[in-house]
Amino acid sequence: MSKKEKKPAVKLSGSSIKRLLKFLFKDYPVALCVIGICIVTTSIIGILPSVYIKTITGYIQEGLASSFSSVQGKIVNTLIIMVALYAVALISSTVQSQVLARVTQGFLHKMRTRMFAGMQKLPIRYFDTKNDGDIMSHYTNDIDTLRQLISQSLPNLISSGFVIVGVLAVMLYYSIPLMLVVFVGIFFMALVTKKVGGNSAKYFIRQQQSLGTVEGYIEEMMHGQKVVKIFCHEEKAQEDFDKLNEALCSDMTTANKYGNIFMPIIGNIGNMLYVLIAFIGGLMVTSGGFIPNISLENLFSTGNMISALSIPVIASFLGMVKQFTGSVGQVSQQINSVAMALAGSERIFALIDEAPEEDNGDVTLVNCREENGSLVECEERTGIWAWKYPATEEFDSPKLVRVSGDVRFSEVDFEYEEGKPVLHDVSLFAKPGQKIAFVGATGAGKTTITNLINRFYDIADGKIRYDGININRIKKSDLRRSLGIVLQDVNLFTGTVMDNIRYGKLDATDEECIEAAKLANAHSFIMRLPNGYNTMLDGGGSNLSQGQRQLLSIARAAVADPPVMILDEATSSIDTRTESLVQRGMDALMKGRTVFVIAHRLSTVQNSDAIMVLDHGRIIERGSHDDLIAEKGTYYQLYTGAFELE
pLDDT > 90: percent of the chain: 19
Which residues partner with 621 through β-bridges? 613
410 or 322: which leads in pLDDT: 410
Provide the pLDDT for residue 347: 84
Gap between the Cα atoms of 622 and 437, Å rounded: 10
Write the pLDDT tens digit of every residue in 170-210: 888 888 888 888 888 888 888 887 777 667 767 777 777 78
Write the pLDDT tens digit of every residue in 611-641: 999 988 899 999 999 999 999 888 888 888 6
- The per-residue b/e assignment along 47-72, b for 16 or more CB within 10 angstroms, e otherwise, is bbbbbbbbbbbbbbebbeeeeeeebe
- Closest CA relative to residue 436, chosen from 540, 562, 566: 566
Give me the residue spans of the domains in the chain: 14-352, 364-402, 407-640
pLDDT band at 358 (very low <50, low <70, confident <90, very high): confident
**Type of residue numbered 280:** I
What one-character DSSP code corresponds to residue 139?
I
With 80 as the cut, is the pLDDT of residue 387 above it? yes
Decide which of 3.40.50.12710, 3.40.50.300, 2.60.40.10, 1.20.1560.10 is the CATH code for 14-352: 1.20.1560.10
Question: Do 14-352 and 407-640 come out as alike in CATH topology?
Answer: no
With 50 as the cut, is the pLDDT of residue 646 above it? no
Q: What is the DSSP string of 348-380?
A: HHHHHTSPPPP----BEEEEEEEETTEEEEESS
Provide the pLDDT for residue 394: 61
What one-character DSSP code corresponds to residue 507?
T
Provide the pLDDT for residue 539: 66
Beta carbons within 8 Å of 583's beta carbon, 6+ residues apart = 571, 604
Provide the pLDDT for residue 585: 64
Fold held by 407-640: Rossmann fold (3.40.50)
Provide the pLDDT for residue 342: 81
Q: What is the mean pLDDT of the chain?
A: 83
Whole-structure pTM value: 0.73
> Once rounded to an integer, what is the mean pLDDT over residues 503-529?
88
> Once rounded to an integer, what is the mean pLDDT over residues 133-137?
81
> Once rounded to an integer, what is the mean pLDDT over residues 11-35?
83
Alpha helices in 4-139 (DSSP H): 14-27, 29-65, 72-120, 124-128, 132-137
Gap between the Cα atoms of 636 and 627, Å rounded: 10
- The per-residue b/e assignment along 353-378, b for 16 or more CB within 10 angstroms, e otherwise, is ebeebebebebbbbebeeeeeebeee
337 or 89: which leads in pLDDT: 89
Describe the chain by its helix, strand, coil percentages, rounded to 5.
60, 15, 25
**Cα angle: 113, vertex 119, 122; to 5 degrees:** 150
Gap between the Cα atoms of 81 and 62, Å rounded: 20
Write the pLDDT tens digit of every residue in 321-357: 888 888 887 887 787 778 778 878 888 888 888 888 8
Q: Which of 68-82, 349-363, 395-409, 412-426 has the lowest mean pLDDT?
A: 68-82
With 50 as the cut, is the pLDDT of residue 366 above it? yes
> Once rounded to an integer, what is the mean pLDDT over residues 471-476?
92
